[in-house]
Amino acid sequence: MDFNLILALSFLFIPISLFVYQLFFGHLLKHDTWYVSIVGIGFNLSVALTFFYRVFFNHPDDVFLHESFNWLTTGNFNLDLGIFIDNIAAIMLLVVSLVSFLVHLYSSEYMRGDSRFSRYYAFLGLFTFSMNGIVLADSITMIYIFWELVGLSSYLIIGFWFEKNSAASASKKAFLTNRVGDIGMFIGIMMIYFVGETHSFNLADIIEKVKTTEIDSTYLTIAGILIFMGAVGKSAQLPLHIWLPDAMAGPTPASAMIHAATMVAAGVYLTLRIFPILTFDALTYIAFTGACTALFASIIAITQNDIKKVLAYSTVSQLGYMVLAVGVGSYMAAFFHLVTHAMFKACLFLASGSVIHSMHHSLHELHDHDTDPQDMRNMGGLKNKMPITYLGMLITTLAIAGVPFFSGFVSKDAILAGTLAHYFDHGGFTIFFPIAGFGAATITAFYMFRLIFLTFHGKPKNEDIYKHLHESPKVMTVPLIVLSALSLGLFYTGSLNPLSDGSHGWFTKAVGNGHNYVIKLDSHHNESHADTHDIHHGEAHGYDNHHTPSSDYSFTEHVSHAAHAAHYTAMYLSLTVAGLGILLSFLFYQVNKLNPDSFARFFNMFKLYDLSKNKFYIDEIYSNILYKPFMFWSSIFSKIDWDYYDQTFIDSIGKITLFTSEKSTKVDYNWLDQKVVDGFGNLANYMSLKMKKLQGGVVQSYILGGLVAIILITLIVQQI
């Protein structure tokens, strides 16, 4: 067996065996059982690092490993499962393993003393297994299988403290919303399978099929959008985003892993994998979804008071960014943002977990069980008490706001450049994309700094709680340090220029621009950009470029070139909007020059404040349009089935049977038995009683009888 294959398979086997171990034997070691998990995940991390090492030397199209085996065959239907590792998969593996490792480390302290400690680690193992499965999958059905498993793990983790009503219903909501998206995904998968001549689920085969045969573009659009529906569900895009904020009822480190870094990124990862077969219309639809989500979620996040809810909505918004990037064709930007977002969002969540953990302990010492430890209005001035947490959170907030020197700036900048380029190309209504992008950037900066100011700056709102706060133990702060270090832009761009776009860094080189075999450029584009291509050739250096201005000038190349051209415009704009957001936030919350309440009332004249606070009433709308009518009809049907059909109809059959059986018993017993059968006996009895009298014992009567008989015989004979 290929050694690489064994290493690759260890990504799957180690976490699942950890799951089984922790589930059945985890209770043996009590608290020390986390050492077992961390060793396993640590091994995975080291393997991921070895794979990652090779990324530096590989071309985007090179494949490390591709092995598959036939899982089941029925007639013409084949299902293969296999492992496929290329550059993107290797980077994702590292991200997943790293975040998983840090979360395992962090949770040992955060979940200390919990009664179901080993079960928590079991679920973490299950989740890691499922996520690795998605990353390593080589066929779309394998992605689907592990997709569902990831949904299951998320259900188990969110509902970890299932005694709480909010956690139990949130986990159900998460799973069901996911399933709604998966319906579309499944139909899309089947549509892709059956089109064309060869039928295969393998990603490489599908891409090959699309490359070589002509497929009706409407069909492909629909298939692409349907598969994207799965990403909508998993990555909490606009219609199906409802589960992510509620999912904050789960333990914070798990939220960090699942809902910040990895699971929600699976949707984007899927979209990247099927990028080659998406048509232009599908991409436009995807871009719309992403833009709306980004803007929408950021508006809601402004008014939230729970620290985790703010981070949840910011996750939704950032995912919108990634999806938007895919929609405008910036393959590389989307993946870049995915990686950087994983780092800084995980750090944000872990830091907030540290804050909550500290608040919790302080409230516990005060024997106060009513105050919410997650409410930012109860915090304030924490930076003196929890310096490391503060530092970690500050660095990553700068990253998410898009401040130079930090990774978030580079990735967000790439996305925004892509949207601008898209607009420049197509014009018209696509102006919406850059507007949404830049608008969401402003608002993101605003509310993230609001979080910092409310939590860590200013005077403490509650002196008693403040007194008892303390910094978290090292086990919890070390992950913060690692992740915030990874949020510095340095790591990705490879240059110390804070304003560079990373186009010469290892990341860009490793990931490449992706391929799209469906969208064909018309000749107009071909020529006009052939020129800029040449001009740019002069400016750019070291750009690994082996395409000539000829007919194989592809869509993605075109997009990347356009983005590169729009880079500077985007950069200036994004710096402006980020600065504006931070400034506003500073004015509102740090120096209190502007009163947030009066602004809230002002906006409320247009009902905007209420809309934002109440999440645009989406949950209520769904409840009234979907849940309530459904429950209404369901109760009607249940009433028909239970009251009418079961009770009346079926029970009445039973009652009729009972009734007939009673009657038949009566007939059988009273009539048949008593009268007919006994009647024979009674008749015989009666006859014998009468006949008995014949035997009088007196001989004379016998003689008499004989004589009578003789006479009768005589008479009869005489007649004859």
Partner 1 sequence: MGEIIFLGLVVIIATSATWVVVSPNLVHSAVSLLVTLFGVAGLYVFLYADFLAATQVVIYVGGILVLIIFGVMLTNKIDKPVIESDSSNKIIGALISGFIFSILSIIIIQTKWPVLANNTEGPSTVELIGRLILGKYLLPFELISILLLAALIGAALLARKKAVIEEVLESGIENNEEIHNSEENDKNDDEDSNEALEENEDKKVEGEDVDG
Partner 2 sequence: MDNLQIYLLLSSLLFSLGIYAVISRQNAVAILMGIELVLNSANINFIAFNRFTSTLNHLDGHIFAIFVIVLAAAEAAVALAIIINLFKNIGSVNVDDASELKG
Contact positions vs partner 1 (CB under 8 A): 700-701, 704, 707-708, 711, 714
CA separation for the pair 611, 299 (Å, rounded): 9
Question: Of 309, 333, 306, 310, which Cα lies nearest the Cα of 321?
Answer: 333
In this structure, what DSSP letter does residue 378 have? G
Contacting residues for 602 by C-beta, under 8 A, at least 6 apart: none
Residue 198: what residue type?
Answer: T
Of 595, 677, 696, 712, which lies in the binding site for partner 2, with binding defined by CB under 8 A? Answer: 696
Report residue 264 as tokens.
Answer: 């929600």
Q: Minimum distance between the CB of residue 688 and partner 1, rounded to whole angstroms?
A: 23
Residue 598 vs 718, nearer CB to partner 1 = 718
Question: Of 116, 146, 107, 111, which Cα lies nearest the Cα of 130?
Answer: 146
Of 698, 716, 717, 720, which lies in the binding site for partner 2, with binding defined by CB under 8 A? Answer: 698
Of 694, 716, 717, 720, which lies in the binding site for partner 2, with binding defined by CB under 8 A? Answer: 694
Long-range contacts of 640-647 (CB under 8 A, 24+ apart): none
Q: Minimum distance between the CB of residue 687 and partner 1, rounded to whole angstroms?
A: 23
Of 496, 699, 716, 717, which lies in the binding site for partner 2, with binding defined by CB under 8 A? Answer: 699
Interface mask toward partner 2 for 649-688; x: CB under 8 A: ----------------------------------------
Of 583, 676, 687, 707, which lies in the binding site for partner 2, with binding defined by CB under 8 A? Answer: 707
Residue 369 vs 690, nearer CB to partner 2 = 690
Q: Minimum distance between the CB of residue 669 and partner 1, rounded to whole angstroms?
A: 45
Across the chain, which distance is largest between two alpha carbons, in Å?
156
CA separation for the pair 225, 236 (Å, rounded): 15
Q: Minimum distance between the CB of residue 684 and partner 2, rounded to whole angstroms?
A: 15
Q: Minimum distance between the CB of residue 698 and partner 1, rounded to whole angstroms?
A: 9
Residue 656 vs 708, nearer CB to partner 1 = 708
How many beta carbons lie within 10 A of that of residue 163, not counting itself?
7
Residue 524 vs 692, nearer CB to partner 2 = 692
The item of partner 2, partner 1, none sharing an interface with residue 714, based on CB under 5 to 8 Å by kind, is: partner 1
Question: Of 148, 6, 145, 131, which Cα lies nearest the Cα of 67?
Answer: 6
The reply on whether position 591 binds partner 2 by CB under 8 A is: no
Residue 626 vs 704, nearer CB to partner 1 = 704
Element (H, E) at 80: strand 77-86
Point out which residues pair with 72 in neighbouring strands: 79
Q: Minimum distance between the CB of residue 687 and partner 2, rounded to whole angstroms?
A: 13
DSSP H helices in 195-306: 203-212, 217-234, 243-246, 252-254, 263-273, 280-302
* Total length of the chain: 720
The reply on whether position 697 binds partner 2 by CB under 8 A is: yes
Q: Minimum distance between the CB of residue 700 and partner 1, rounded to whole angstroms?
A: 7
The item of partner 2, partner 1, none sharing an interface with residue 594, based on CB under 5 to 8 Å by kind, is: none
Residue 523 vs 700, nearer CB to partner 2 = 700
Q: Minimum distance between the CB of residue 678 and partner 2, rounded to whole angstroms?
A: 24
In 3-state terms the chain splits into helix, strand, coil percentages (rounded to 5) of 75, 5, 20
The reply on whether position 717 binds partner 2 by CB under 8 A is: no
DSSP H helices in 79-164: 87-110, 117-136, 140-158
Residue 265 contacts residue 316 (beta carbons within 8 Å): no
Q: Minimum distance between the CB of residue 665 and partner 1, rounded to whole angstroms?
A: 51
Contacting residues for 503 by C-beta, under 8 A, at least 6 apart: 540, 543, 564
Q: Minimum distance between the CB of residue 702 and partner 2, rounded to whole angstroms?
A: 10
The reply on whether position 523 binds partner 2 by CB under 8 A is: no
Which part of the chain contacts partner 2 (CB under 8 A), choosing from 252-260, 509-517, 535-543, 699-707? Answer: 699-707
The reply on whether position 709 binds partner 2 by CB under 8 A is: no
Residue 257 contacts residue 346 (beta carbons within 8 Å): yes
CA separation for the pair 199, 204 (Å, rounded): 12
The reply on whether position 700 binds partner 2 by CB under 8 A is: yes
Residue 30 vs 693, nearer CB to partner 1 = 693
The item of partner 1, partner 2, none sharing an interface with residue 696, based on CB under 5 to 8 Å by kind, is: partner 2
Residue 700 vs 719, nearer CB to partner 2 = 700
Interface mask toward partner 2 for 229-268; x: CB under 8 A: ----------------------------------------
The item of partner 1, partner 2, none sharing an interface with residue 692, based on CB under 5 to 8 Å by kind, is: partner 2
The reply on whether position 703 binds partner 2 by CB under 8 A is: yes
Angle, CA of 299, 301 and 306, to the nearest 5°: 160
CA separation for the pair 218, 364 (Å, rounded): 60
The item of partner 2, partner 1, none sharing an interface with residue 711, based on CB under 5 to 8 Å by kind, is: partner 1
The SS3 assignment for 69 reads: strand
In this structure, what DSSP letter does residue 237 have? -
Question: What is the contact surface with partner 2 in residues (CB under 8 A)?
Answer: 691-700, 703-704, 707
